[in-house]
């Protein structure tokens, strides 16, 4: 995936305006709904000693970890995703992990930045949710104003030497007709998780209770709806908390990088 920043000047200007506000500390909330039409990205930062292996892990697991961009060690700009991005300050909130444990949730990385850090920008379901809404599909957690429910599954990721663990999925309940349409729509967006990995019976992928998500908030499911499950960008956070590298950084859930790339440009056909 090599996204293009050939985006409308209006979209790019709005993305830049949001990043500047965040960088100046004027906004520290979730990014859902900001700079509509622009791709938002999950962030995973690792020291160079882990970076090559995480890159291989992403290559082997494109559905939970679709890579939009990878930086050179120590670099905090991401020209592939936008003009003048500063990874250290352009996300509203970060999570710093030490030995796999959450250590702090800063709004800037200036104090913890190291010259050997490599940043991985990973596609986010916000992009395909925009396409679902545009098709008149009810996306339950968006209507409720809550976080999407996410679950650890028994679906194994494709391991590397040191990285392994189960896939995390997000769930959206839908009527069958909408589920079929959602499969068509999200199949066009492999850069942001693509088609679902499962639908129907949650027990078949190791989920015991839909009303008790491992991350995010539960949503109601109506009798005429089925749960539809997509691979989730929280998978690498779950892997990291299993593998426990000495030091790593992620975005705080829902607090994403806003890019200049348009969601529309990610559609594969």
Q: How far is the CB of 205 from its own copies (least distance, A)?
A: 8
Nearest approach in angstroms of CB 58 to its own copies is 21
The minimum distance between CB 199 and its own copies, in angstroms, equals 5
Using the minimum distance from each CB to its own copies, give the nearer residue, 31 or 157: 157
Smallest separation (angstroms) from its own copies to the CB of 208: 16
Q: Are 228 and 140 in contact (CB under 8 A)?
A: no
**Choice between 184 and 242, CB closer to its own copies:** 184
Q: Which is nearer to its own copies, 79 or 200 (CB)?
A: 200
Kindly state the smallest distance separating residue 139's Cβ from its own copies, in Å. 18
Measured from the CB atom, the residue of 155 and 234 that comes closer to its own copies is 155
Residue ranges binding its own copies (CB under 8 A): 176-177, 179-180, 183-184, 187, 195-201, 204, 224, 226, 269
Q: 196 or 236: whose CB is closer to its own copies? A: 196
């Amino acid at each position: 995936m090599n996204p293009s920043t050939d985006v409308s000047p209006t979209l790019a200007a709005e993305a830049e305006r949001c990043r500047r506000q965040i960088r100046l500390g004027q906004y520290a909330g979730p990014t859902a709904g900001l700079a509509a039409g622009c791709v938002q990205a999950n962030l995973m930062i690792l020291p160079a000693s882990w970076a090559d292996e995480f890159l291989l892990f992403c290559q082997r697991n494109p559905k939970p970890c679709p890579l939009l961009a990878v930086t050179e060690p120590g670099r905090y700009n991401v020209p592939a995703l936008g003009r003048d991005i500063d990874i250290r300050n352009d996300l509203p909130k970060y999570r710093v992990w030490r030995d796999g444990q959450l250590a702090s949730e800063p709004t800037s990385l200036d104090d913890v930045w190291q010259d050997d850090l490599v940043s991985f920008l990973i596609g986010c379901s916000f992009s395909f949710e925009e396409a679902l809404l545009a098709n008149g599909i009810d996306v339950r957690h968006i209507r409720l104003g809550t976080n999407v429910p996410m679950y650890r599954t028994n679906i194994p990721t494709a391991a590397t030497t040191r990285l392994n663990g189960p896939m995390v999925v997000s769930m959206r309940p839908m009527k069958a007709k909408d589920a079929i349409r959602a499969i068509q729509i999200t199949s066009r967006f492999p850069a942001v998780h693509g088609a679902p990995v499962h639908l129907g019976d949650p027990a078949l992928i190791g989920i015991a209770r839909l009303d008790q998500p491992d991350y995010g908030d539960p949503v109601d499911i109506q009798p005429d709806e089925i749960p539809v499950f997509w691979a989730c960008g929280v998978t690498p956070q779950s892997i990291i908390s299993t593998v426990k590298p000495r030091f790593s950084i992620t975005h705080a859930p829902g607090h994403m990088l806003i890019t200049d790339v348009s969601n529309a440009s990610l559609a594969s056909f």
